[in-house]
Structure 1
Amino acid sequence: MADTTVVVGIDNGGTSNNATVLTLDGRFLVDQLVETPSEVRAGPQAAVEAMARSFDGVLALTGLSRDQVRAVGLDTPGPASATGVISSKGSTNFSQPAWRGHDIRGALERRLGLPVIYHNDGNAAALYAHHVHFGVDAMHRSSVSAIVGTGLGGGLVEYGRVIAGAAGMAGELGHVHVPLTDVLAPGQPVPVCACGFAGDVESIASLTAIERNLLPYWLTRFPDHPLAGEPPALAAKLVRGYGERGDEMAREVFAQQARALGALFTIAANFTDPHAYFVGGGVVETAPEFRDWFLATVREHTVLRDEQAASATFALVPERDMAGARGAALAALAAARELPVPPPLVGH
């Protein structure tokens, strides 16, 4: 493989970095998570060094040298600008003052001495889902992705290209306000997001929302539930397992999340009219019955016109744990080949 030219994708998270390697003809050389500590809580300098270690580690794993790398793709949680400058107000993962307004893309580029192409993590995962799902037709299709995690990430892809927006914050789907009439139960308080918004999608469809908004309400309706005796943060993590087993209260919690996503996709249908709607994250990294029920509930509550329903697809983000790094690699591949959009995948 001494004559192979590649790009590297690095997915930066709150606790770990995951890296992958993609050849210029579209073959991923890594088929597993390659994780190392991200060190983001130690500040920008430590975090950039951690990303450099992730870069070196995945090259060592694949037996490649640094001079075979044409470019690096990087994704991080947002909000951040299109060029990888962390929001001046910081973010959940980048909470220390030193991160506010920090150019994380530029810092990694200087450290590695290679071009670094940036997307936020939702956009990167959306790009990967789009290209895997559509294959050779990817550059003739559009999609919207919602990824449920600690928050609610997402991405819009039009003709194979991520829509970044003027400030790089397009596709922040978690902070779209949705009608709550068909989402909340009678008498349920309007949920408040960690960002301060009331009634946005993330205030309902996220792990944080389960802890802060949904479980506090539903446990008043099911006061004898086993989760009533657990600390809120732990209960929020345990509720998915109850949902997989068909527990009534847990299904109420996740049905609300699915209805909120359906309301979001209804808005998307009238703004972008995409060919596909993707759902990813821990909420669908579950047993098949629960996963299928959740996606079907999202579909049921997405209001489409007949013409849209005939052409739209609802699907899961594939290989969610690796989707960010792979999407970042695809973005780097586009830059490396001097194309406006990534070419179709040969394999995945």
Structure 2
Amino acid sequence: MGGTDVPVVVGLDNGGTSNNATVLTLDGRFLVDGLVENPSEVRAGPAAAIEALARAFDGVLALTGVPRAAVRAVGLDTPGPASATGVISSRGSTNFSQPAWRGYDVRTALELRLGLPVLYHNDGNAAALYAHHTHFGAEAMRRSSVSAIVGTGLGGGVVEAGRVVAGAAGMAGELGHVHIPLTGLLAPDQPVPTCACGFAGDVESVASLTAIGRNLLPYWLGRFPDHPLAGEAPERAAKLVRGYAERGDALAREVFTQQAMALGRLFTVAANFTDPHAYFVGGGVVEAAPDFRDWFLATVREHTVLRVEQAASATFALVPERDMAGARGVAIAALEALRAGPAPRPVVAG
């Protein structure tokens, strides 16, 4: 860490409990090499949360010794779903449960508070962008990727030519709500899993922490009635499953095999839509012991059906530095927005 005389952008990653902040110089150097966190205050409502983001902004500048006048733009991410311009979904979000958040324009509110341009992505897209640029480096603007970020829900992002594909309403990359085939994934008597969004059989209904507690663990505990997790409260049991899986526990491996299969089927769908150069997996599911992490990624790869030509050119990898990926991803997006030239003119006159 250290001060700089060159212009910078600031990346702010807003989560359900904490904000994380970073600083990126316009010549491409991160001035923060770890987490710089403060409480996000999202449960106190939008006004308190915007003030918390402003404190995160001020705090990371003080830590790095960067004067406020050096900041050219701010990147912001929040949990989705939200529009490309930072308007939280009218149905709300897992982390934004109060009615005041529904339809709230978080990007504009922060822009007005800071008096600086603010670029927005949801947290899945931000992590996807960071994974893409970190993996491909100098080739990033000539490559494509799809990322699945497994957390409380399932986020993700589609990156083409180094930039996030946002979509018409800004909700492209909501990969958790893609429906996948369940034949061969579920046990013969296993109920069809349901998602908090109301869908049945989407990826998030299998591959998420919520899915473990809601759908997978209740079924598998019925097959392993003497398992130690049977005596735990459901929410705590869901969080403990990964530790058991790391130790090779049979029930836990059944749970994570189904999650890996679901991600493989998601990537199979992606292969036929975008044919990316790389498939990234991130989130708490891979913040684990190396043996388990490698097994999980290999199982995802095993269940991703690619054509011979695709398999020869595709890479499977983990999202690096998950806790910092959001802030760094939106900082990269803010920097690229500053660098971008004018949009191309249409070929056919209107």
TM-score band, normalised by shorter chain: over 0.9
User: Matched residue of 1:266: which SS?
Assistant: helix
Q: 1:148 to 1:339 in 2, by over 3 A?
A: farther
- Paired with 1:318 and 1:35, the residues of 2 have a C-alpha distance of 18
- Paired with 2:176 and 2:87, the residues of 1 have a C-alpha distance of 20
What is the total number of aligned residue pairs between the two structures? 341
Match in the other structure for 1:143:
145
Relative contact order, higher structure (CA 8 A, sep 6+): 1
- Give the alignment partner of residue 114 of structure 1, picking from 108, 113, 116: 116
Q: 1:221 to 1:2 in 2, by over 3 A?
A: closer
- Give the alignment partner of residue 167 of structure 1, picking from 166, 169, 187: 169
Match in the other structure for 1:210:
212
State the Cα distance separating 1:2 from its structure 2 match.
Answer: 5.2
The amino acid across from 2:111 in the alignment is E
Match in the other structure for 1:80:
82
Consecutive unaligned residues of structure 2, counting only runs of 5 or more, are 344-350
Equivalences for residues 22-33 of structure 1 within 5 A: 22-33=24-35
The amino acid across from 1:185 in the alignment is A
**How big is each residue's C-alpha offset from its partner over 1:97-140, in whole Å with a ceiling of 9 and x where there is no partner?**
11111100000000000000000000000000000000111011
Contact 1:105 1:117 in 2 (8 A): yes
Q: 1:163 to 1:13 in 2, by over 3 A?
A: same
Equivalences for residues 31-42 of structure 1 within 5 A: 31-42=33-44
State the Cα distance separating 1:80 from its structure 2 match.
Answer: 0.5
Percent sequence identity over matched residues?
84
**How big is each residue's C-alpha offset from its partner over 1:7-65, in whole Å with a ceiling of 9 and x where there is no partner?**
00000000000000000011000000001000001011000000000000000110111
User: Matched residue of 2:21: which SS?
Assistant: strand
Structural RMSD (CA): 1.0
Consecutive unaligned residues of structure 1, counting only runs of 5 or more, are 342-348
**How big is each residue's C-alpha offset from its partner over 1:307-342, in whole Å with a ceiling of 9 and x where there is no partner?**
00000000000001000000000011012234589x
- Paired with 1:183 and 1:318, the residues of 2 have a C-alpha distance of 28
- Paired with 2:64 and 2:289, the residues of 1 have a C-alpha distance of 32
Contact 1:71 1:335 in 2 (8 A): no
User: Matched residue of 1:205: which SS?
Assistant: coil
Say whether residues 1:271 and 2:273 are aligned partners: yes
Match in the other structure for 1:102:
104
- Give the alignment partner of residue 90 of structure 1, picking from 89, 92, 113: 92
- Paired with 1:161 and 1:70, the residues of 2 have a C-alpha distance of 20
Match in the other structure for 2:295:
293
- Give the alignment partner of residue 182 of structure 2, picking from 167, 180, 189: 180
- Paired with 1:16 and 1:339, the residues of 2 have a C-alpha distance of 34
Equivalences for residues 286-325 of structure 1 within 5 A: 286-325=288-327
Contact 1:182 1:259 in 2 (8 A): no
Q: TM-score, normalised by structure 1?
A: 0.97
Q: TM-score, normalised by structure 2?
A: 0.96
Match in the other structure for 1:17:
19
- Paired with 1:80 and 1:3, the residues of 2 have a C-alpha distance of 35
- Give the alignment partner of residue 51 of structure 1, picking from 53, 61, 69: 53
Runs (4 or more) in structure 1 with deviation over 3 Å come to 338-341
The amino acid across from 1:272 in the alignment is T
State the Cα distance separating 1:4 from its structure 2 match.
Answer: 1.7
